[in-house]
């Protein structure tokens, strides 16, 4: 299959598995794009995640950067469309159908059942990114300090990313 087809298929499939948000799919995206298809290295994956976080917009855009790396601008656009369309269409239909059933038990049930899965996946995603990008004590310290500040304060992420880039520029 050609590259664009592979990109569309991969992210189209992941779209409907992104429980609790796009970050839940980060371990799976890394497993396939780095481990199976060898489209990029583990270190590049962390850098792409960082680039996607530096730009404004929703955090699905890790797939835009990966798509662009693999197959240029067309690859980025196909990856983005594949990642948002299946889930978005599903959300539109379900929202229209169940607008009247706000208090339905299925909704509370689905939410309660998905929450622990989301929690496990976002923590796995974070540890994976940390393992891929922490190659020495300084990157590890940056990760640790940023995690603490993000968790405990309302400091804007752009300040942290700027400080991290500067620290890398000066000391790495």
- Least distance to other proteins, CB of residue 75, Å: 10
Find the binding residues for other proteins in span 27-46 (CB under 8 A).
Answer: 27-28, 31, 35, 43, 46
How many CA atoms lie within 13 Å of 131's alpha carbon, on the beta-carbon side? Answer: 9
114 contributes a contact to other proteins by CB under 8 A: yes
The span from the CA of 172 to the CA of 165, in Å, is: 10
What's the CA gap between 25 and 58, in Å, rounded?
Answer: 14
How far are the Cα atoms of 57, 111, 170 from residue 126, in angstroms, in the given order? 19, 22, 25
Neighbour count for residue 3 (Cβ, 10 Å):
16
Return the closest-CA partner of residue 49 out of 150, 140, 130. 130
Residue 9 touching other proteins (CB under 8 A): no
Residue 6 or 143: which CB sits closer to other proteins? Answer: 143
Q: How far apart are CA 77 and CA 126, in angstroms?
A: 26
Q: With contacts defined by CB under 8 A, how many residues of the chain interact with other proteins?
A: 115
Q: Does 118 bind other proteins (CB under 8 A)?
A: yes
65 forms part of the interface with other proteins (CB under 8 A): yes
Q: Which of 8, 22, 71, 82 binds other proteins (CB under 8 A)?
A: 22
Footprint on residues 68-107 left by other proteins (CB under 8 A): 68-69, 73, 76-77, 80, 83-84, 86-92, 94-96, 98-99, 102, 105, 107
Asked whether position 11 contacts other proteins by CB under 8 A, the answer is no
Could you say whether residue 25 binds other proteins (CB under 8 A)? yes
């Amino acid at each position: 299959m050609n590259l664009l087809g592979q990109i569309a298929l991969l992210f189209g499939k992941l779209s409907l598995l992104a429980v609790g948000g796009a970050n839940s799919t980060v371990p799976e995206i890394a497993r396939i794009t780095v481990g199976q298809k060898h489209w990029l290295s583990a270190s590049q994956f962390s850098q792409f995640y960082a680039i996607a976080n530096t730009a404004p917009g929703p955090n699905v855009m890790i797939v835009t950067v990966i798509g662009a790396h693999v197959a240029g601008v067309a690859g980025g656009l196909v990856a983005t469309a594949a990642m948002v369309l299946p889930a978005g269409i599903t959300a539109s239909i379900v929202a229209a159908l169940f607008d009247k059933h706000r208090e339905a038990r299925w909704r509370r049930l689905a939410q309660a059942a998905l929450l622990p899965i989301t929690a496990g996946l976002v923590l796995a995603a974070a540890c994976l990114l940390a393992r891929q990008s922490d190659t020495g004590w300084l990157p590890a310290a940056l990760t640790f300090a940023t995690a603490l500040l993000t968790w405990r304060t309302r400091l804007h992420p752009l300040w942290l990313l700027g400080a991290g880039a500067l620290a890398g520029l000066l000391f790495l």
